[in-house]
Amino acid sequence: MTLHRDLLVEIGTEELPPKALKTLAKAFCSGIVQGLKDAQIEFGVGNQGRATQDIVGSGEAHSIWKATHGIDDRELDTGVAYYATPRRLAVIVKNVATQQPDRLVERRGPALNAAFDDNGLPTKATQGFARSCGVEVEQLKKLETDKGAWLVFRSTQIGRATTELLSAIIEQSLAALPIPKRMRWGSSRVEFVRPVHWVVLLFGDDVVDTEILGVRTGRETRGHRFHHPAAMYITKPSDYASLLKDEGHVFPDFAVRRDKIREQVIEAAISFGGTAVIDEALLDEVTGLVEWPVALTGKFEKRFLDVPQEALISTMKGNQKYFHAVAAPGILPLAALAHPCAADGNNKLLPYFITISNIESRDPDKVRQGNERVIRPRFTDAAFFWEQDCKHPLHSRLEKLKSVVFEEKLGTLYDKTMRIKALAGMIAEGTGNTPFFKSAKQHAAHAAELCKCDLLTSMVSEFPELQGIMGRYYAGRDGKDPQVAQAIEEHYLPRHAGDALPQTITGKIVAIADRLDTLTGIFAIGQAPSGDKDPYALRRAALGVLRIIIESNLDLNIDLQQLLIAAIKNLPDTLKKDSTAQHVFDFMMERLRGYYHEQGIHPTVFDAVLANRPTQPLDFHKRIHAVTAFCALPEAENLAAANKRIRNILNKTNGNIPETLNETLLTERAEHDLFKKINELRGDVMGLFERRNYEGAMKHLAGLREPVDTFFEKVMVMAEDPALRANRLALLKQLGDLMNHVADISKLATA
């Protein structure tokens, strides 16, 4: 019976990159798990724990069993857990087999019909095969299959001890970690993300004596750098987490530490009558900075609240890793409503911040005061930039954009701004002539003129991430229409995958125009994305345009092909190429393919719609969902197969098909029935097509299944009589044109 033991690996290092900590920990764990699997070493709760789970059942007995075996809910299914702090990466694997299973090895030799000569004696090939296996020819076996018979040698390979394999498994996992740049330290040639100071490798109660990353393995870990710098002795893997927490002043579990920080931040905000705003990325980063989190609250002068709060928040989060809080009376407890700051209004920044310290200081007030001293000059700078920028209206910076090069061959930011304005005007023409949309056209032109002006402000120069946001503030101070001000910020949306979309029609128009100008311009200068390289973020720009149109249901008759052609006309004359529009269109269609793939749309559905080359993204979207609904109909498979057959027949005619059909030449009953059904459906279906009710139209087309099936069963299309043959081909062409108006449904056929 194979024995099982728990495995603990811990790599102790200098402080690891906080933003990458979680990723590194998961990758390290995955690498070890994969290494054990590749070595065919059994592990996990399923080897022993699951049988016990079946015995103890669930509920209280199950909880006791988990606690006894040191297993939490996060580990239950696999018996694997990772731990990560700024100074360590660790993995615990439960119930690892002490050795590989024995393995039956089979080597195939010569084919049986060539293994012996006419006298029944083994050939030289057979003798050589036997020698290579270390046996006599008589000890070889026969293997017979449907494909023939061979001589084989079968032997049992004894499994190696797990301890012999662990070092290689761990080293391989460490080598595969996603580390962009590794470093060396001292005189060692070993490379890792940070210098390594200790390595723990326990298999059950025993140390696996080896060397990893140039360090000899042992059973001693380290606690908190300040609270418990001395070494700690680990008896067995299941003691690891509790030992670090209870004695070492370290919360080794990343998720537990993260939750603890969240709870402390929320409680700290409530204490001064606010609601904490917790950015998940910042929470991950702070979790990667501390081993023993302690939340502290600091204050800043209320005068700084006159500065746009995004600037204050940006420096708190980006530079200091602080959490901020806002007043939100509607969701605060009654006790908090009495706090004077709670009356400042919903979502208004409060003059407090919450920092996470890595120590329990004997004098927390000094730590708090130190953080307050650090943040004050940063806020003072932000206030100065705001005051200086407000001395000049936003539009005064438009001419100055002529001094800023966007791209050498594409001109300055002023040139780009004028191109955006022209393209935005063309897009806005499709909005209609109601008073609302007339104002939208004017707003779009005005917002396009101002959309890049805040790039020359002091605030955006200091905080580039505030581009657009500050433009909104400055435009508001200048008395610009709220739609124009909002559009200046929104034209940068979406900034990344899953980001919010512009909400105003003006913002959507300018956002589309900006991205299409960038796409066509960069393609025109020959800098299209290649492989992983996409320095101008064109993939993101393309997807942004498509998302804005589709997810906003932006039905402005936006024809992507026409807009791309118009955008290219705005480029410098030396860059105007007829092929650029098609290249950009194809590039965007590939982004659209990925967009629908993530939504679970089958690739054949996308290909069926793309075959018809619809150039309006919203129209494309409606076709996608119509074809998806059509595929769920019972008639879909037969009609798709029939359509594929029609396509194959018509392709062989080289286009020699009559435009009109002669009804008098319909000699078969099945021909008449199909012709009649096509005419019955055409009126209703074409009306639905015109209204873009593609789903309704394709449901009507499902009624063609029976007459189409009967036609192909009863009628010989390629009749000997040329007139009959031509007439039947014309009938099939009418049928194909009607069925393929939304998409080429022949591409849905499975065969």
The enclosing domain of 647 has a CATH number of 1.10.730.10
615 in a structural domain: no
Q: Which pLDDT score is estimated for 469?
A: 97
Which positions of the chain have pLDDT values less than 50? 48-77, 330-345, 751
Q: Is 297 in the same domain as 419? A: no
Task: For residue 122, give the DSSP letter.
Answer: B
Q: Which pLDDT score is estimated for 329?
A: 55
616 in a structural domain: no
Q: Which pLDDT score is estimated for 616?
A: 94
38 in a structural domain: yes
Among 209, 225, 246, the domain-final residue is: 246
Domain tally, the chain:
5
Q: Is 188 in the same domain as 75? A: yes
281 in a structural domain: yes
Q: Which pLDDT score is estimated for 337?
A: 34
664 in a structural domain: yes
Q: Is 446 in the same domain as 426? A: yes
Q: Which pLDDT score is estimated for 750?
A: 66
pLDDT in tens, 655-695: 677 778 888 888 888 888 888 888 888 888 888 988 889 99
Residues, the chain: 751
Provide the 3-class DSSP secondary structure of residue 231.
Answer: strand
Among 389, 411, 444, the domain-final residue is: 389
- CA separation for the pair 683, 680 (Å, rounded): 7
Task: For residue 238, give the DSSP letter.
Answer: G
The enclosing domain of 494 has a CATH number of 1.10.3210
Q: Which pLDDT score is estimated for 45?
A: 66
Q: Is 77 in the same domain as 206? A: yes
Q: Is 107 in the same domain as 91? A: no
Q: Is 346 in the same domain as 364? A: yes
Confirm if 296 and 368 have CB atoms less than 8 A apart. yes
Q: Which pLDDT score is estimated for 713?
A: 85
334 in a structural domain: yes
609 in a structural domain: no
Residue 337's Cβ-side half-sphere holds a number of Cα atoms within 13 Å equal to: 6
Beta strands in 248-322 (DSSP E): 275-277, 294-299
User: What is the extent of the structural domain holding 472?
Assistant: 395-597
- Show the CA angle centred on residue 733, arms to residues 731 and 739, nearest 5°: 105
Q: Is 457 in the same domain as 588? A: yes
610 in a structural domain: no
Confirm if 555 and 575 have CB atoms less than 8 A apart. no
Query: pTM for the whole thing?
Result: 0.80
Q: Is 520 in the same domain as 646? A: no
Q: Is 479 in the same domain as 410? A: yes
Q: Is 204 in the same domain as 115? A: no
Q: Is 379 in the same domain as 520? A: no
Long-range contacts of 735-738 (CB under 8 A, 24+ apart): 735/646, 735/674, 735/678, 735/704, 735/708, 736/643, 736/646, 736/647, 736/650, 738/678, 738/681, 738/682, 738/685, 738/701
Q: Is 692 in the same domain as 555? A: no
Among 537, 563, 597, the domain-final residue is: 597
The partner residues of 122 in beta bridges, in order of sequence, read: 116
Q: Which pLDDT score is estimated for 649?
A: 84
